[in-house]
Amino acid sequence: MGIPSTVRPFAAVVVLLAGGLLSGCAAGSGDSAAPVAQTPVAQTPAAQTPAAPSAAQTQEPSDPMQQDLSAASVCGTVSALSTVLLNASAGQQVGAVSESDRLALVRSARFGYEHLQSSDPRMTRAIDSVQRYLDAHPAPTEGLAMEDGPEWELQQKLLTTACRESGSNVVATAQYGG
């Protein structure tokens, strides 16, 4: 068994990550956003001329259910998935994550990679390569859902390079070790 105080944060990250992937990372959807009270502003006679609307006021409201397919968003997701994989392995090595928890974390990360999408052509090529690799290496019903090896490292490098070319970085945050 993993140490409950470290396994629960991993589980929370995975749940939040999967939820974000499935919901399209909708921020401020109509159900959860508090209504904003609008207060009329008194104008003095000198300020009677209408001001030009700000950029925020002229933009069309975005669909809160539409997934952000930008390179920056996708690279943030790749960073989160990389963090999950890194800490699943490192946590098991130090005895903080059980084998069953590691298997669940790796399976969740694989799910995230299988469902990546982007509107950036550079990202799309790398994502297609990763997803072809995963299709060619199906997850077993028991055991590790993704093998860490040279072929998978190449797929990770393709994603990292595509992110850099698109102006974003991929960063994995280590919870265990230095």
Answer yes or no: is 85 within a domain: yes
Most confident range (mean pLDDT) of 10-14, 62-66, 145-149 is 145-149
Concatenating the DSSP letter of every residue in the chain gives ---HHHHHHHHHHHHHHHHHHHHT---S-TTTSPPPP--PPP--GGG-SPPPPPHHHHSPPPPTTS---SHHHHHHHHHHHHHHHHHHHHHHHTTSS-HHHHHHHHHHHHHHHHT---SSHHHHHHHHHHHHHHHHSPPPSSS-SS--SHHHHHHHHHHHHHHHHTT----PPPSS--
pLDDT tens digits, one per residue of 59-89:
445 666 778 889 899 999 999 999 999 999 9
Number of domains in the chain: 1
Answer yes or no: is 39 within a domain: no
